[in-house]
Amino acid sequence: MRAFELVEPATLREAAASLGADDSTIRPIAGGTAIVLMMKAGVFRPERLVSLRRIERRHAAIERTAEGGLHIGAMATLTALEHSADIRAAAPVIARMLRNHSNVRVRNVATVGGNLAHADPNMDMPPVLIALGARVTTISSDGERSIAVEDLPAGFYQTVLKPNELIAALEIPAQHARRSAYLKCTTRAAHDWPTLGIAVSLGDNDARIVISAATERPMRLTAAENEFRDPRKAAEAAADTVKIMPDARGSIPYKRQLVRVYVERALRAAMEAAS
């Protein structure tokens, strides 16, 4: 690694202003677990890093909303989410998922905003948040906007965020009687990035079924959602329609089989989960 300029603004607004509108050598850094890896590998060589660690503390808060949902500051760490009583009450699937996510030290510093902005397709968090119907609010010089987590990824390691736009908070709606599950499948070791992740959120009359890791980006499996009452049919529909990305973790036909198995298992897990 080589030297760069490190700025540490005191507010989120200043931080957004410190980012260039179209300079790819300027990036924000929160926990740094992903971006430092990219810098070590030489795939990202910053001229300036804008650290978010000194911005207002409220951006790390986790709060229950009046409606029973969750408002989570983008700087909340994954460990904070994992141990939050509010999250365990309002969206326990997140805490369960986090236990098998990366490791304790990464979770201690990695932030929910950084996790989503990084747009690594092999992550456990985005499919769960998509299944829960979560949205992010962002801030930039153009003002604030709200984006569904589902619409955030634009492709492989890409998001719809503009270069000078920062995630400010995550909003998870009240789940009421919805039941959720997330199943992670690894194929190279027990502890690994997922080969496949399937998140399910089940309502009385609908299901959101989200796939990640085996596809270019996390996405809803609408064909499976249409068959959600019959897990086997839903699994076949998912396997028949999904566009798989092969890699060292598995070939296309093998991952297709995993989709078939895990969609069914995840749906059954959600049916058995407490609401």
Partner 1 sequence: MSETVRTIRFTLNGETRTAQIEPHWNLVDLLTRLDLFGARESCAQGLCGCCTVIVDGTAVSGCLHLAAFADGATLSTIEDSHGLDAVQQAFIDTGALQCGFCTPGFILMTRQLLAAHPDPDDDTIRHYLAGNLCRCGAYAEIIEAVKLAAKRPKA
Partner 2 sequence: MNKIMRHGQVGRSAPRLEAREKATGRAEYVHNLRLPGMLYGKIFRSTIPHGRIRSIDVSAAAAHPGVYRVITAADVAKVVPNPYYGPAFHDQPILAIDKVHHVGEPVAVVLATDPHVAEEAAALIVAQYDELPAVYDEVEAMTSKAVVHDVLKPAGTFPDLKHLQGKTDTNVALDFHLRRGDVAKAFAEADHVFEHTFRTKAVLHLPLEPFVSVAETTGSGLTIHTASQSPSFVRIEIARLLGWPENRVRVKVPYLGGGFGAKLYIKLEALVAALALIVNRPVKIALTMEEQFFTLTKHASTFRIKSAVSKDGKITGRECEVWWNGGAYADIGPRITQKSGFTAPGPYDIDNVTIDSYSLYTNLTPAGALRGFGIPQLVWAYESHADMIARALKLDPLAFRRKNILREGNAQATGTIMRDAAIEAVLEQVSARMDWEKPFARSSGSVKRGRGIAIGFKASISPTTSVAIVNVAADGSATLYCSTVDMGQGSDTANAQIVAEVLSIEAEAVRIVHPDTDVTPYDMATLGSRSLYHMGNAVRLAAQDAKAKLADLAREVGVPEGSNIPIAELFVKKYKMQAGNIIGTASYIPSYVPPEAETGQTPNATPFWMVGGAGAEVEVDTETGHVRVTRLVNVGDVGTLINPRIVATQLSGAAVMQYGFTMQEQIETDGGQITNASFADYKIPSILDIPPMESEAVDAEQHDGPFGAKGVGESGTFAVSPAIANAIDDAVGVRISELPITPEAVYRAIRARNGDPLEDA
Would you say 148 or 252 has its CB closer to partner 2?
252
Helix, strand, or coil here: 7? Answer: strand
* CB nearer partner 2, residue 3 or residue 274: 3
- Residue 57 binds to partner 1 (criterion: CB under 8 A): no
Q: Return the half-sphere exposure (C-beta side, CA atoms, 13 A cut-off) of residue 250.
A: 22
Residue 188 near which of partner 1, partner 2, none (CB within 5-8 Å, type-dependent): partner 2
DSSP for 129-167 reads: HHHTT-EEEEEETTEEEEEEGGGSEEETTEES--TT-EE
Residue owning tokens 């060589």:
45
Instruction: Please classify residue 103 by burial: count the beta carbons closer than 10 Å to its beta carbon, then call 0-12 exposed, 13-18 middle and 19+ buried.
Output: exposed
Residues 146-185: x where in contact with partner 1 by CB under 8 A, - otherwise, as a string: ----------------------------------------
Q: Rounded distance, CA 258 to CA 239, Å?
A: 9
Residue number with CB closer to partner 2 (74 or 235)? 235
Smallest separation (angstroms) from partner 2 to the CB of 169: 30
C-alpha atoms less than 13 angstroms from C-alpha of 228 in its C-beta half-sphere: 23
Region of 5-13, 113-121, 133-141, 191-199 interacting with partner 2 (CB under 8 A): 191-199
Quote the CA–CA distance of 198 and 42 in Å, as a whole number. Answer: 32
Q: Kindly tell me which residue out of 20, 44, 96, 108 binds partner 1, with binding defined by CB under 8 A.
A: 108
What is the residue whose two structure tokens read 């939050």? 84
Q: Judged by CB under 8 A, does residue 185 bind partner 2? A: yes
Q: Is 211 in the site for partner 2 (CB under 8 A)?
A: no
Please say which residue, 40 or 229, places its beta carbon nearer to partner 2: 40
**Shortest distance, CB of residue 18 to partner 1, whole angstroms?**
15
State the DSSP H helix or E strand holding residue 79, giving kind and residue range, or none if neither: helix 78-83
Q: Is 53 in the site for partner 1 (CB under 8 A)?
A: yes
| Token pair of 222 as six digits | 């609408």
C-alpha to C-alpha distance for 148 and 31, rounded to whole angstroms:
23
For partner 1, the binding residue among 40, 176, 188, 232 (CB under 8 A) is 40
6 touches which of partner 2, partner 1, none (CB within 5 to 8 A by kind)?
partner 1
CB 260, CB 232: distance < 8 Å: no
Judged by CB under 8 A, which of 84, 102, 164, 212 binds partner 1? 102
Give the residues lining the site for partner 1 (CB under 8 A): 1-6, 29, 32-33, 36-37, 39-40, 49, 51, 53, 79, 99-100, 102-106, 108-109, 191
